[in-house]
Amino acid sequence: MTWEIILRDKPPCTRAYRRDTNETRELNCTDKRITWAFRPDQTSTLQIDPVAIAHDGYYGCQMATPDGNFHVRYHLQVSVAPEVTLFQSKNKTVVCKAIAGKPAAQISWTPEGDCVTEQEYLDNGTVTVQSTCHWADSDVSTVSCSVSHWTGNKSRSIDLSQVAPEVTLFQSKNKTVVCKAIAGKPAAQISWTPEGDCVTEQEYLDNGTVTVQSTCHWADSDVSTVSCSVSHWTGNKSQSIELSQGKTEHDGYLKPTTKHFTQSPKKLVTDLLGSFEGKRRLLLITAPKVENNMYVQQRDEYLESFCKMATRKISVITIFGPVNNSTMKIDHFQLDNEKPMRVVDDEDLVDQQLISELRKEYGMTYDDFFMVLTDVDLRVKQYYEVPIAIKSVFDLIDTFQSRIKDMEKQKKEGIVCKEDKKQSLENFLSRFRWRRRLLVISAPSDEDWAYSQQLSALSGQACNFGLRHITILKLLGVGEEVGGVLELFPINGSSVVEREDVPAHLVKDIRNYFQVSPEYFSMLLVGKDGNVKSWYPSPMWSMVIVYDLIDSMQLRRQEMAIQQSLGMRCPEDEYAGYGYHSYHRGYPEGYQDDYHHHEGYHHGYPY
């Protein structure tokens, strides 16, 4: 009896037992969590304890008996329950997150709102799903977020009448600091780092909100900096202060820590915006911190399009941090022949009054991600509450009358952007999501025996690939000598195939994303939802099993009904015996397109 175990990015492990000599043998088996469940002379069962994501892979058991040899194959995919959070980001806008789940969770709302859903693929193979919803209807007071996942469903509710508190922090006297969460609903919770000698009070206001005040004293002379953390359903906030040894505001003197203005903040904002008016378009962005995922996603989008930002004369003003303690940075995207711009001094980038007035000017009064687009007249053209593909921003700008004039002038001057940026993995995969299924085939070279055998099995299957909306992605090579080919089959079943080269950097990114080792042959079936449906570590001599799996999916059944009504089908000699009439064999009714299949030739589910 021999177990062959192939886990991603690891050499094959072999565990064998010979009954005639009562001996066990292991080769390349380094994972101590995989063991014999009992004595191998009593049962062939393997045990994995505890199970981890790393145990996704192929498990094959071969037994030699007097009656013949028997071979059973399993494909194990590990599910991970997501962590669910729900919070209100701004008025009538709520964010529900299903964090680090596998496979990706599904999020729904009651009542339905105006929603945007995003997925973030993490390095460990899990997925974070975020759904941001807004309800314009003033009658909606409570909303619920339902997260559906294989590991169990979860539901969270939130009262939209919640109000985010304003947070202030100041030193009242030597080593005594006051932290206030003003006019929040419900009452906020305040904690300190390090802990001190604290007194907390609550004041209930006429409008139903609550102000919480915590006053703390630190007798320890070694404490120089303290932090106040405010926890609230609408989001958490934290502020720090350096303890002063001298007189404070309550002692009659406060050392100035901010710039004294020689003119009104409104005039300063006017001066700042006057530097752009008639010359530049603005993207104004707020984010709680530089590392914020939504900000990073948006930043990476526009940084990859430097030339296109420059030809559209865009400057980006980014404000980081909470409303009452922000910093600002300004980036100008300019062509090589343009004179570099400088519109503010360094101290203006931390000027709280200037930043506050700029926020108010464009309605950016929240701590979370928010983006505003203006034309050269600096009037708002579009608000964005979530990151957006920069191409969509460009398409909108290109409809502006001022931009049309710019384009005519740039065309006469021969100003054209070269497509020199690398295509990102997310952009590459997004072109297939909910449109195509991917059959990913990876091998160390085009001369690999397993790869050649698989190509033979794929020969003459163009019609079946097309009708099943399958695109083949071939990833070849190791080290720096890598490349790929994308084969697109027409969905009407014709035999014409479009081929596209896949650059080396994308081949590496795709292999890393799907955790495919370049050293071994492997094949993956990826559904229209972007999730892996089945993983094949060895060639599939016949595509029957793959077709059966696809044809059993609910989304595919809808496609088949439409195709049958239009008389679209493949010649019987191409896929003889495996037409639409046989799609149901071995799979239960209602098999979903987002279902992870644990495949064996016996069509079983081994765990």
Residue 564 covered by a domain? yes
* 399 and 440 belong to one structural domain: no
H/E segment holding residue 463: helix 462-467
Angle between helices 352-361 and 265-274 (to 10 degrees): 70
Res. 165 pLDDT band, cuts 50 70 90: confident
Q: Among 22-31, 218-227, 412-421, 549-558, whose mean pLDDT is lowest?
A: 412-421
* 450 and 561 belong to one structural domain: yes
Give me the mean pLDDT over the 17-45 stretch.
89
pLDDT at res. 578: 40
Residue 202 covered by a domain? yes
The SS3 assignment for 142 reads strand
In the predicted model, is pLDDT for residue 371 greater than 70?
Answer: yes
Helices and strands in the chain, H and E counts: 12, 32
Residue 182 covered by a domain? yes
Percentage of residues in the chain with pLDDT exceeding 70? 88
In the predicted model, is pLDDT for residue 261 greater than 50?
Answer: no
In the predicted model, is pLDDT for residue 254 greater than 50?
Answer: no
In the predicted model, is pLDDT for residue 112 greater than 50?
Answer: yes
* 56 and 122 belong to one structural domain: no
- Note the pLDDT tens digit of each residue in 387-440: 888 888 998 999 999 999 889 888 888 887 754 445 678 778 878 888 899 999
* 562 and 440 belong to one structural domain: yes
Res. 572 pLDDT band, cuts 50 70 90: low
Which of 81-90, 271-280, 331-340, 564-573 has maximum average pLDDT?
Answer: 271-280
Percentage of residues in the chain with pLDDT exceeding 90? 28
| Cα 216 from Cα 195, distance rounded (Å) | 8
* 269 and 407 belong to one structural domain: yes
**Residue 148 belongs to a domain with what CATH number?**
2.60.40.10
Q: Among 75-84, 210-219, 578-587, whose mean pLDDT is lowest?
A: 578-587
Could you list the residue range(s) of the whole structural domain that residue 98 is in? 83-159
Give me the mean pLDDT over the 484-507 stretch.
85
Domain boundary among 186, 218, 251: 251
Q: Tell how far CA 598 is from the center of its chain.
A: 25
pLDDT at res. 108: 93
Q: Among 323-327, 464-468, 570-574, whose mean pLDDT is lowest?
A: 570-574
pLDDT at res. 430: 78
* 301 and 391 belong to one structural domain: yes
**Residue 555 belongs to a domain with what CATH number?**
3.40.30
Give me the mean pLDDT over the 210-227 stretch.
86
| Cα 228 from Cα 176, distance rounded (Å) | 12
| Cα 514 from Cα 248, distance rounded (Å) | 58
In the predicted model, is pLDDT for residue 22 greater than 60?
Answer: yes
pLDDT at res. 389: 84
* 180 and 285 belong to one structural domain: no
pLDDT at res. 258: 38
The mean of the pLDDT values for the chain is: 82
- Note the pLDDT tens digit of each residue in 41-77: 888 899 998 888 888 888 889 888 888 888 887 878 8
Domain boundary among 346, 380, 413: 413
The number of folded domains in the chain is 5
pLDDT at res. 206: 76
Res. 237 pLDDT band, cuts 50 70 90: confident
Residue 598 covered by a domain? no
* 479 and 569 belong to one structural domain: yes
Domain boundary among 220, 251, 282: 251
Residue 101 covered by a domain? yes
Residue 218 covered by a domain? yes
- Note the pLDDT tens digit of each residue in 114-140: 899 998 888 777 889 999 998 876 678
- Note the pLDDT tens digit of each residue in 331-347: 888 887 777 787 777 77
Residue 283 covered by a domain? yes
Does the bond joining 103 to the residue before it have cis omega, within 30 degrees of 0?
A: yes
Give me the mean pLDDT over the 477-494 stretch.
87
Helix (H), strand (E), coil (C) string for 227-283: EEEEECCCCCEEEEEECCCCCCHHHCCCCCCCCCCCCCHHHHHHHHHHCCCCCCEEE
Give me the mean pLDDT over the 352-377 stretch.
89
In the predicted model, is pLDDT for residue 599 greater than 60?
Answer: no
* 306 and 407 belong to one structural domain: yes
Residue 594 covered by a domain? no
* 454 and 577 belong to one structural domain: yes
* 116 and 176 belong to one structural domain: no
pLDDT at res. 524: 93
| Cα 149 from Cα 588, distance rounded (Å) | 19
Nearest to 316 by CA among 358, 372, 278, 275: 372
pLDDT at res. 373: 95
Which of 178-182, 218-222, 385-389, 575-579 has maximum average pLDDT?
Answer: 178-182
* 242 and 296 belong to one structural domain: no
